[in-house]
Amino acid sequence: MKSSSLPRQELPRVPEWRNLLKMAAPVPKTVGEIKTFITMLQTACEDETVYARLERLLAMPDQKRQAVVHAWVNDMLIAEAPRDFIQAVACLLDDRVAEKAYEVIFKCRRGEST
């Protein structure tokens, strides 16, 4: 079989991908490194409406909370919400994170330090 007579095209060289990786934001290792998550909790401490909604969500049984958060995340993805906010809300899927978040907002509303 004879090879095609079309001119052979070289793939573009992309050594820049390493530079792109360096420029990308580092992946957070803990929830505490997700600034939007921390901001969400601080806002709940300062704003009664945010507190009430977050408290209601965090007071749900684990499976119900996870289902609500999962649906909320899906809705935000469809709506093309800011990725950092989606990531912050998604943190609440984790039972331990949700429990700690509940503790934090409860304590700040009572004027206690965390």
Asked if the model's pLDDT at residue 16 lies above 70, the reply is no
Whether 103 and 51 have beta carbons less than 8 Å apart is answered as no
pLDDT in tens, 24-57: 455 567 888 889 999 999 999 999 999 999 999 9
Query: Per the domain annotation, does 10 fall within a domain?
Result: no
Asked if the model's pLDDT at residue 11 lies above 90, the reply is no
Query: Per the domain annotation, does 56 fall within a domain?
Result: yes
Residue 23 has a pLDDT of: 47
Return all residues near 110 (Cβ < 8 A) that are at least 6 apart: none
Using CA atoms, how far residue 28 sits from 105, 106, 109, in Å, is 22, 25, 27
List the domain range (segments joined by +) for residue 74: 32-109
Query: Per the domain annotation, does 74 fall within a domain?
Result: yes
Confidence of residue 61 (pLDDT cuts 50, 70, 90): very high
Query: Per the domain annotation, does 49 fall within a domain?
Result: yes
Residue 21 has a pLDDT of: 44
Q: Is the pTM higher than 0.85?
A: no
Query: Per the domain annotation, does 38 fall within a domain?
Result: yes
Amino acid at 112: E
Residue 108 has a pLDDT of: 87
Query: Per the domain annotation, does 40 fall within a domain?
Result: yes
In total, how many domains does the chain have? 1
Rounded mean pLDDT of 58-63?
Answer: 96
Which tokens is 55 given?
A: 């408290």
